[in-house]
């Protein structure tokens, strides 16, 4: 059967796109070399927030880089082979740290993040899996209480957009997260969020829901795309698939596919890691960030997950054990009562552009090709709205939302 729309990639972005299209009555095929949600979308920290509207580059961020790279926790690193790409990427990243650019990017992030909790709630109820989403706060915990302030630009922007924030001291923090180390002296609470109890299971539940709407999932490794008279052909190992419209949702792997069509995008693999403890004997009731180590902890169905690191590396470079060792140490420091028995470790690749925004919309010069990738640190929470935007573009029902910040070729 011909499928008018074929979505490449069954990460959370591809799955949410397929759901949005199928709900509008489209015949949709999804192609992935693995099952749904087995790459980056499997192992993330599970934060789903309308208030993640602050990009990574802020005024003055450049001053923190030496500490982030060479300080106690080293959450930021660059693999030797990634430096050639990193230099121009890094300059673009820092240029996005002016207050004007931050506010512009923040508005675009808000378009994608603000409906995320409500959209997941609705999708997961329909999928019979609403237990996978829990209301939560984002607890930004500080060892040095004097650093916890609501006056910084990130808090100001969140508040302007309607977030409810509160500053609490050591006692207040203890009441909310009793298992946390007494080293933490203060916290900023970002209220009105949600957290995923298992990002991988959310992918599977939504893929099953998509299948009930008629979406077909094919397992195949995609090699290239060809424009032929009657639309597009997806060339895979072992089979070719025809489609009128293609949505590229291959996460960090989208760059290589597009480069075969002569489209160059500055997408980097910003790798992150997690360690997970199946019987931890401690609970994180919310998404808890250790603001020194830039590590996020959250109790999930599989146990306590502790995630972090921003390691720019070639896509296929082997995982770096030093990163896991650091996470293990930080996990023990955050939760002194942590039982580490049965620990598992994971590495995934954030698909990151220098402005933290995805490529979302038609690819100029290639009729019927739509980008939906590059969601960096925010792909779980941005996926539902991104998918809905793609469905609206394809069905011609796009309202007057400004998609220019997401133009796939904006970096030319």
Ligand X SMILES: Cc1cc2nc3c(=O)[nH]c(=O)nc-3n(C[C@H](O)[C@H](O)[C@H](O)COP(=O)(O)OP(=O)(O)OC[C@H]3O[C@@H](n4cnc5c(N)ncnc54)[C@H](O)[C@@H]3O)c2cc1C
Contact region with ligand X (CB under 6 A), list: 41-49, 331-339, 359-367, 397-405: 41-49
* Least distance to ligand X, CB of residue 366, Å: 18
Cα–Cα dist 83/147, whole Å: 32
For residue 244, give the 3-state DSSP assignment: coil
Give the list of residues 6+ apart from residue 80 with CB closer than 8 angstroms, or none.
none
Closest CA to 192 of 298, 286, 300: 286
According to CB under 6 A, which residues from 355 to 374 bind ligand X?
Answer: 373
- The dihedrals phi and psi of 15, each to the nearest 5 degrees, come to -65, -45
Nearer to ligand X, 318 or 396 (CB): 318
Is 220 in contact with 236 (CB distance < 8 Å)?
yes
Q: For ligand X, which residue of 7, 19, 30, 47 counts as binding (CB under 6 A)?
A: 47
Instruction: Output the 3-class SS for 152-195.
Output: CHHHHHHHHCCCCEEEEEHHHHHHHCCCCCCCCCEEEEEEEEEE
* Least distance to ligand X, CB of residue 215, Å: 15
Q: For ligand X, which residue of 53, 249, 334, 390 counts as binding (CB under 6 A)?
A: 249
154 touching ligand X, by CB under 6 A: no
Please work out the total of residues on this chain that contact ligand X, with binding judged by CB under 6 A: 37
378 touching ligand X, by CB under 6 A: yes
Q: For ligand X, which residue of 6, 17, 41, 388 counts as binding (CB under 6 A)?
A: 41
56 touching ligand X, by CB under 6 A: no
Q: For ligand X, which residue of 50, 351, 361, 408 counts as binding (CB under 6 A)?
A: 351
Cα–Cα dist 185/147, whole Å: 10
Contact region with ligand X (CB under 6 A), list: 7-15, 117-125, 171-179, 363-371: 7-15
* Least distance to ligand X, CB of residue 177, Å: 17
131 touching ligand X, by CB under 6 A: no
Residue 360 Rama label (left phi>0; alpha psi -120 to 50; beta): beta
46 touching ligand X, by CB under 6 A: yes
Nearer to ligand X, 32 or 355 (CB): 32
Cα–Cα dist 246/350, whole Å: 22
221 touching ligand X, by CB under 6 A: yes
Q: For ligand X, which residue of 18, 39, 58, 405 counts as binding (CB under 6 A)?
A: 39
* Least distance to ligand X, CB of residue 118, Å: 15
- 351 to each of 310, 328, 356, 359, how far by Cα in Å? 11, 24, 9, 10
Cα–Cα dist 249/371, whole Å: 7
Is 68 in contact with 75 (CB distance < 8 Å)?
yes
389 touching ligand X, by CB under 6 A: no
Residues lying near ligand X in the complex (CB under 6 A) are found at 9-14, 32-34, 38-41, 44-47, 221-222, 249-251, 253, 272, 274, 307, 348, 350-351, 373, 375-381
């Amino acid at each position: 059967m011909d499928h008018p729309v074929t979505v490449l990639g069954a990460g959370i972005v591809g799955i949410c796109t397929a759901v949005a299209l199928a709900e509008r009555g489209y015949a949709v095929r999804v192609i992935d070399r693995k099952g749904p949600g087995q790459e980056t979308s499997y192992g993330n920290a599970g934060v789903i927030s309308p208030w993640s509207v602050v990009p990574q580059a802020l005024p003055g961020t450049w001053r923190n880089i030496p500490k982030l790279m060479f300080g106690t926790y080293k959450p930021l690193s660059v693999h030797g082979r990634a430096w050639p790409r990193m230099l121009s990427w890094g300059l673009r990243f820092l240029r996005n740290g002016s207050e004007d650019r931050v506010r512009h990017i923040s508005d675009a992030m808000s378009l994608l993040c603000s409906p995320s909790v409500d959209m997941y709630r609705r999708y997961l109820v329909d999928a019979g899996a609403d237990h996978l989403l829990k209301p939560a706060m984002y607890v930004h915990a500080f060892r040095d209480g004097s650093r916890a302030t609501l006056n910084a630009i990130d808090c100001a922007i969140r508040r302007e957009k309607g977030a409810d924030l509160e500053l609490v001291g050591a006692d207040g923090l203890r009441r909310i997260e009793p298992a946390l180390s007494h080293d933490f002296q203060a916290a900023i609470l970002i209220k009105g969020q949600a957290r995923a109890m298992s990002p991988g299971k959310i992918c599977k539940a939504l893929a099953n829901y998509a299948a009930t709407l008629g979406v077909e999932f094919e397992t195949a490794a995609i090699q290239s795309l060809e424009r032929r008279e009657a639309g597009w052909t997806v060339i895979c190992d072992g089979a070719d698939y025809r489609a009128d419209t293609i949505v590229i949702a291959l996460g960090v792997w989208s760059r290589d596919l597009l480069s075969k069509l002569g489209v160059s995008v500055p997408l980097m693999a910003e790798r992150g890691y997690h360690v997970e403890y199946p019987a931890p004997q401690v609970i994180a009731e919310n998404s808890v960030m250790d603001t020194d180590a830039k590590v996020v902890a959250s109790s999930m169905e599989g146990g306590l997950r502790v995630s972090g690191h921003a390691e720019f590396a070639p896509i296929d470079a082997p995982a770096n054990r030093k990163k896991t060792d650091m996470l293990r140490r930080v996990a023990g420091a955050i939760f002194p009562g942590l039982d580490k028995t049965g620990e598992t470790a994971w590495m995934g690749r954030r698909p990151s552009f220098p402005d933290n925004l995805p490529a979302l919309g038609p690819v100029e010069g290639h009729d019927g090709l739509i980008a939906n990738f590059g969601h960096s640190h925010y792909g779980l929470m941005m996926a539902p709205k991104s998918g809905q935007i793609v469905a609206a573009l394809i069905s011609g029902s796009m309202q007057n939302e400004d998609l220019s910040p997401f133009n796939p070729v904006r970096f030319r």
